[in-house]
Structure 1
């Protein structure tokens, strides 16, 4: 039985703290192997692993919808570059907790999905995850994998991330907008922040209301920020609390490129108020943003609840179609 995060947050994360500030990983989250064999029995997608930067031990897993492999689509599919969550500290590309999301994106949209890895904190504090994720975009643009060449439309690219991955999409998206031409033939059409992980020193209303949440209580999120942020800064650093550092010209690149932004959340998640605040601030700065905030739920619910996954699938399909159609105007 998993530890109660409010009683033993370290045990809940499978981590033991050391006196020098480092951590010992007692256990990794359950993982799922890749399967590129069409006879494997997975009705939703095929998958395979490819190294990105061996010196950093970063790698990616490509997901291909079964219907695309089995019937060869008449046109190539949108390409999702996905960044997983875990507070920058736990989880990896192959963590089983994200299987439901991979299925939702690949089979439900449908799309080719590349889930890319990054170095974890506290061994590699931010901005390491941002740097690795930006490097992954350059890797994708020149990757000669046969699945990407045959099935993926590089002119219809979306960056999507869950929790800490949503945080990565925000910061890497801002970087990518400044140097969009350097990523060609990748043409990003939208940024999707799915239950993104943000924080701050002043507690939000939803954080106070759900301080002892059974999935992401404050004691757990505080530890993740303690281990992830650069040494000597607090949760009001721009990596954690972007609202405090918003400037009028910061999003000129995103607006000029016509990128759309989707932010999703639910009111059973302690992070929801920060997500709604960011959506409001982006809108005030002229960014074309869509906020989808549902009742109930919890942090990570879309991976476990089929009804929630269905709603997410619908939102993703609508967002992708809107972003692609608006770029044709």
Structure 2
């Protein structure tokens, strides 16, 4: 049997996450959260830029485009699948600009050879569910109707994945349920698959 000492149990999740729950049901977030800005630097293997989803809600998404897709040598201008990604962290912290999620999406776009759209949705408790699910559907509507060149020129809208990590997996799942009811409204965007990385669900007893 290993003699390794186990870490002490987490007694105060607010202290662990470095957030303070205020009397008005908002959070003061002190968690260290390095951010990465979008870049069109062609020395990078993946180009990135941000698109506004809803200005009043301050929601947006970050597009990741493999640079190889823009090369003249890209035979027949091959269209790429689209992965719509929702970040994790319990619905309450971090964002699509958080370096850990930015790097994950950039690596995924390059390795899988796909365009990735990482959604920055509203956080709880200031914006309680289903706000994040609403933001997910607004993101899909934006992608469907946008005239942004990265979407119109490089994306195969018939091959779209919804993907999320932890809380983001839950968002992707609920977005998938809503898509079933609104498939015609999202054409030509077709959601073909869900990729749920450690989603979590709960219900009232």
- TM-score, with normalisation over the residues of structure 2? 0.88
Which runs of 5 or more structure 1 residues have no equivalent in the other structure?
200-235, 238-243, 245-329
Deviation at 1:25, TM superposition (A): 1.9
Deviation at 1:188, TM superposition (A): 1.2
Q: Deviations over 1:44-77 (max 9, x none)?
A: x110111111010001100001221234353100
Aligned residues: 196
What is the CA–CA distance in structure 1 between the aligned matches of 2:75 and 2:83, rounded to whole Å?
Answer: 17
Deviation at 1:103, TM superposition (A): 2.9
| 8 A contact 1:163–1:195 mirrored in 2 | yes
- SS of residue in 1 equivalent to 2:196: strand
What is the CA–CA distance in structure 2 between the aligned matches of 1:127 and 1:94, rounded to whole Å?
Answer: 22
Q: Which runs of 4+ in 1 moved over 4 A?
A: none
Residue matched to 2:74: 72
Q: Deviations over 1:8-59 (max 9, x none)?
A: 53233231122343321234521111111213xx33x110111111010001
Greater RCO (CA < 8 Å, at least 6 residues apart): 2
RMSD: 1.9
Deviation at 1:93, TM superposition (A): 1.0
> Cα distance 1:72–1:149, how it changes in 2: closer, same or farther (>3 A)?
farther
Residue 179 (str. 1) matches residue 182 (str. 2): yes
Residue matched to 1:96: 99
Residue matched to 1:54: 55
Equivalent in 141, 150, 153 of residue 153 of structure 2: 150
Which runs of 5 or more structure 2 residues have no equivalent in the other structure?
1-7
- Structure with bigger helix share is 1
Residue matched to 1:37: 41
Residue matched to 1:124: 127
| 8 A contact 1:5–1:11 mirrored in 2 | no
Residue matched to 1:18: 22
- TM-score, with normalisation over the residues of structure 1? 0.56
| 8 A contact 1:62–1:114 mirrored in 2 | yes
